[in-house]
Homo-oligomer: A and B are copies of this chain.
Amino acid sequence: MLRHYDKLGLVRPTGRTSGGYREYVDDDIRRLFHVESLRTLGLSLDETRRALDDPDCAPVELVGNLARHTRARIASEQELLTRLEHVDATAPTRWDDVLRIVHLLRALESGSGSLRQQALLSQDPSTSLPVDALVEAVLSEDDPNVAGALHWSLARAGGRGLPALAAAMESDAAEVRRRAVEATTAVRTADATALLRRALADDDPTVRTRAALALGDRGDTAAVPTLVELVVAGRRDVEAAELLGSLSETAPSTCDIVGALQDALAAAHDAPTRLRLTQALAEIPGAAAREVLTRLTADDDRTVAGTATAILGRTNPGRRSRSRVREDADPW
């Protein structure tokens, strides 16, 4: 290094011994330390020489430029690290696997929705997927088709994406939590169900709605209070009522759905809400629901009373309503 600096003329020893050895005096050492100091700021040898020798060379812009370049380098190194960690997470055994993963990651970063989607759908089912990258992608995916492909891929990966989805469920941004809960509904594991249950307590009504509908679909009675809330609020109430109906078929003893609807009826004072709750009772099989409906035929609200009467007059109301819901195109 000393020889190099000497050759460049950056730090020259003032003298030489009789044997030809370089002899550095105090001023040379000082200059050497100055060079080392500036080098810790990332200056090149040439910039260092100009800084020390050229009185016109001002530090402000050079230091500013160095900072800008360093920030840019950090950003790209950070991207590189994320890529490496995503690849590493799939524990590839051959470079072929690495190439497939890199191709997928690059496609996911691309601006073209069809490219993103195509890369996802063309994945070999036997290769393991970079689930954290998929979760990251699904949390910022605007294109519903690509989001669908991501859900499918995450479902294929089983529960391996759930830790990242659970973390996303703690996000401050409601949109992120919504996308997380939607992705979670695609995963059919007990852990996914547990995560959906936690989402029932979310502040955002959309998050709660999606969690409740997904849990209801899994026959999970933990969804019942939120499903009743949906009927009350008139949000996705037909589907919610339908799910309450099948829940009381599959788990009749564990939870009193008729009781919950009755409580909601007692608490509701506006006519449309009471009508929705009455219609929901039509979905519930068994004597308990019919009993409540019978009482409702004498309700003060004539629409409610009339609806209750009509429901009781039908032979098999549940099956009819359910098939109607199933015919809806894209219920989301």
Q: Footprint of B on A, CB under 8 Å?
A: 34, 37-38, 40-42, 51-52, 57-60, 63-64, 66-67, 70-71, 73-74, 77-78, 80-81, 83-85, 87-88, 91-95, 97-99, 102-103, 106
Check A74–B77 contact: CB distance below 8 A. Answer: yes
Task: Please name all residues of chain B whose beta carbon is closer than 8 Å to the beta carbon of A73 when the two chains form the complex.
Answer: 77
Q: How far is the CB of A231 from chain B (nearest CB, A)?
A: 44
Q: How far is the CB of A182 from chain B (nearest CB, A)?
A: 30
A contacts with B: majority SS: helix
Check B94–A59 contact: CB distance below 8 A. Answer: yes
Task: Please name all residues of chain B whose beta carbon is closer than 8 Å to the beta carbon of A95 when the two chains form the complex.
Answer: 38, 51-52, 57, 59
Given known contacts A63-B88, A92-B60, A77 and B80 CB-to-CB distance under 8 angstroms: no
Check A84–B66 contact: CB distance below 8 A. Answer: yes
Check A81–B74 contact: CB distance below 8 A. Answer: yes
Query: Which of these, B34, B37, B84, B97, contacts A106 with CB under 8 Å?
Result: B37
Task: Please name all residues of chain B whose beta carbon is closer than 8 Å to the beta carbon of A58 when the two chains form the complex.
Answer: 93-94
Check B67–A84 contact: CB distance below 8 A. Answer: yes
Task: Please name all residues of chain B whose beta carbon is closer than 8 Å to the beta carbon of A51 when the two chains form the complex.
Answer: 95, 98
Q: Which residue of B lies closest to A53 (CB)?
A: B95
